[in-house]
Amino acid sequence: MATLQELANSVIEGDVERVKELTQELLQAGVDPLEIIDKGLIAGMDVVGTRFKAGEMFVPEVLMCAKAMAEGTSLVKPHLAGKELKTHGTFVIGTVKNDLHDIGKNLVSMMVESAGFTVINLGVDVSPEAFVKAIQEHKPDILGMSALLTTTLPYMKETIEAIKEAGLRDSVKIIIGGAPVTQEYADQIGADGYAPDAGAAAELCKKLVGAA
């Protein structure tokens, strides 16, 4: 019989077809759907995140693994029958105002989602006001901001100021990333964390909600 370990391994191998097969087998064998997600799919993706961070796996592989995981998850979902999918929390992410870069931000979004968060991706060119509105609407545990240009970097600071002014700063952890971003800059503008890559961002999110 298929095991959760085999499922996790197939996620790590990015083998979409095998993940679908194993997920079906496990469901038919009556394994708890939540276990399949937690100890099979997410467990596999955790390893992928660690290897990615260590430079042993690369972006296209991570994308394939995430696709495999997503296919598996979509097979499990109809079987949850009212059971709540356990999540580490809600993560809202966007690229700051006047900045149209979305590739890095989307990688972070995908890795954080694969790590077991509910992710709301606001897209690119997100104004400070739009970030504030999204916090009010989605009440996230963590907010992520991306900037890829030295000219748009200052909007991170402006957004944090706007969140403070709206009285929401204490309700949400804020993390930042992107080519020109550094830990020093994060400290300087009062962010709660900085991640140099998507794997690190997922770990940072888990740490911030006490799930790591």
Partner 1 sequence: MLIVGELINSSRKPIAEAIQAQDAEAIKKVAKEQYEAGAHYIDVNAGTFVGKEAEYMEWLVKTVQGATDAPCCLDSPDPKVIERGLAVHKGTAMINSISLERERFEALVPIISGTDLKVIALCMSDEGMPETKDQRMKIADKLINLLVQKNVKIENIYVDPLVQPISTNSIFGVEFLNAVEEIMERFPGVHTICGLSNVSYGLPMRKLLNQNFAVMAVAKGLDALIINPLDKRMMANLIAAEALVGRDQYCMNYLKAYRENKLDV
Please spell the DSSP secondary structure of 115-134, one letter per residue: TT-EEEE--SSB-HHHHHHH
What is the x/- site pattern for partner 1, positions 16-35, by CB under 8 A? Answer: --------------------
Interacting residue with partner 1 among 29, 180, 190, 212 (CB under 8 A)? 180
Please state whether beta strands 118-121 and 90-95 pair in parallel, antiparallel, or not at all (unpaired): parallel
When asked if residue 158 is in the footprint of partner 1 (CB under 8 A), the reply is: no
What is the x/- site pattern for partner 1, positions 106-125, by CB under 8 A? Answer: xx----------------x-
Helix/strand/coil for 170:
helix
Q: Between 43-53 and 59-76, two packed helices, what is the crossing angle to 10 degrees? A: 170
Q: What are phi and psi of 192, to 5 degrees?
A: -85, -10
When asked if residue 102 is in the footprint of partner 1 (CB under 8 A), the reply is: yes
Distance (Å, rounded) from C-alpha 159 to C-alpha 102? 18
Interacting residue with partner 1 among 17, 103, 136, 183 (CB under 8 A)? 103
Nearer to partner 1, 124 or 145 (CB): 124
- Which of the ranges 1-9, 126-134, 146-154, 166-174 carries the binding residues for partner 1, by CB under 8 A? 146-154
Nearest Cα to Cα of residue 72 among 120, 11, 13, 115: 11
Nearer to partner 1, 171 or 185 (CB): 185
Interacting residue with partner 1 among 29, 80, 179, 212 (CB under 8 A)? 179
